[in-house]
Chain A
């Protein structure tokens, strides 16, 4: 029996998603005795893979950015020497946006992307160059430079660059897909971050599937004296005098620790784990005022064998049926996927599977039970319109609804981006790092607007550093 209730740990991390795991790696490396408790049967959260028949599918996350020389995610993997253990490749182009009139490829060489765009939109050439220059590292004065973006939407930011709405909507469709809000609602700060980290520095992938990442992080914790337990659903954060003492899991076992890092859904942390703690009031009040981001509907398609019309492997291919992202958002929110029409798909690097994605709202389990098949078929129709040969080559087909995502990760409303990245929900540090409960820390995509694997990894690193500072451990 590998479970030792009442054993004392230095830190317990709730949730083995990327943020919790990265936090655990740094703390274990610094010599702390770490225990990670995960509800699912494997690490990763949204960043995991699963097998059906002979097909290996990435469950949700399927590529990442910020792995350039000096990029945050590269720095993290280098710090814990996992850059040598995981083989990371980069697909080129990372993304292609297909519209009724033109295609935009996001090449690894940004200058090539800019040149392509300038050829497509000669009247906007100057604006295109100016827009991409904004993202060059030299253009930023200091970290306060983005103050102009306070309260602004991504649309207003883009409006200062472009006139052509076809260009504007095509260029930002992937930002909408990766942020869950159209530019007219998305915060300018988050829009630019997504554009930089996903579009300019995107397309990275670990050989062997996305599960390689959390598996390597989890192994690292265990190699450094930590433990990772699965099928452990935390029910309560134990506190004494408004200071954490450990956690209690569903089966009644308790685990004691000096620190607790909640790296899971924040509504559960506030409403369930801290239910009886008065000191959780600030968190609960804040949670009650926040609006979560949309969730996602995902198709998992297994292919009989590679065929001639199969699109390029590893590239995210975005289909934009028209140039009105607000309208797509409107129809998606009503679950009218026939009218929304916009989607993204990606042929896996092994060319055996295809993932297709559409943003989707959270609805009841009953709604999805009734509508899952119908909506999956609509999305499949969209995909087969663009890849007609696929119809005869489907060997396996299934879908995940927002409720499926909730069931596997327990994230509030099946959200895979945390809170909706509205300007009004940004720059308020209530959820960051320290809470009113002593030695309870938070991390993950619910604590601020951040996106993708590198974003949550960075927050995990940040939380670990806060604890290490407090413990006066060498950083």
Chain B
């Protein structure tokens, strides 16, 4: 896993969820552990899409449960972009 990418995404999640970066683990469940509600989820998605210039596809959405899954998806999308 790309540790820089993970660090950057944890920082975005921290900013929007209100949790400290130290409290956020790759395996943290966004909804259950970090209380990310539907509006915060989209705020996170918008911030990530803007930063990495990628678009999350509809079929990716069901897989976005943990921080790690978000990091993996962005790694994949940026790789595809070349």
State the A residues within 8 Å of B (CB): 141-150, 189, 426-429, 432-434, 448-450, 462, 465-466, 469-470
Given A150-B42, A427-B43, A465-B35, A145 and B61 contact (CB-CB distance below 8 Å): yes
Given A142-B31, A189-B39, A462 and B18 contact (CB-CB distance below 8 Å): yes
Q: Is B2 an interface residue (CB 8 A)?
A: no
Q: How far is the CB of A463 from chain B (nearest CB, A)?
A: 8
Set B19, B36, B46, B56: member contacting A143, Cβ < 8 A: B36
Check if B15 sits within 8 Å of A146, measured CB to CB: no
Q: Is B74 an interface residue (CB 8 A)?
A: no
* Bound Cα distance from A90 to B61, whole angstroms: 36
Q: Is B64 an interface residue (CB 8 A)?
A: yes
Could you mark each residue 7-46 of chain B with 1 if its beta carbon is under 8 Å from any beta carbon of chain A, else 0?
A: 0000000011011100100000011000111111111011
**How many A-B Cβ pairs are below 8 Å?**
70
* Residues of the B chain whose Cβ atoms lie less than 8 Å from the Cβ of A146: 38, 41-42
Residue of A nearest to B57 (CB): A147
State the B residues within 8 Å of A (CB): 15-16, 18-20, 23, 30-31, 35-43, 45-47, 56, 58, 61-62, 64-65
Q: Which 6 A-B pairs have the closest CB atoms?
A: A466-B18, A143-B41, A143-B38, A429-B43, A427-B46, A141-B62
Check if A427 sits within 8 Å of B62, measured CB to CB: no
* Residues of the B chain whose Cβ atoms lie less than 8 Å from the Cβ of A429: 15-16, 40, 43, 47
Set A427, A466, A470: member contacting B39, Cβ < 8 A: A427
Some 9 contacts from A to B, beta carbons below 8 A apart, are: A142-B41, A144-B45, A146-B41, A148-B58, A150-B46, A427-B46, A429-B16, A429-B40, A429-B47
* Residues of the B chain whose Cβ atoms lie less than 8 Å from the Cβ of A149: 42
Check if A144 sits within 8 Å of B41, measured CB to CB: yes
Check if A142 sits within 8 Å of B39, measured CB to CB: no
* Bound Cα distance from A462 to B65, whole angstroms: 20
Check if A428 sits within 8 Å of B36, measured CB to CB: no
Given A145-B61, A429-B43, 4 other A-B residues pairs in contact with their CB atoms under 8 A: A427-B43, A428-B43, A432-B43, A470-B20
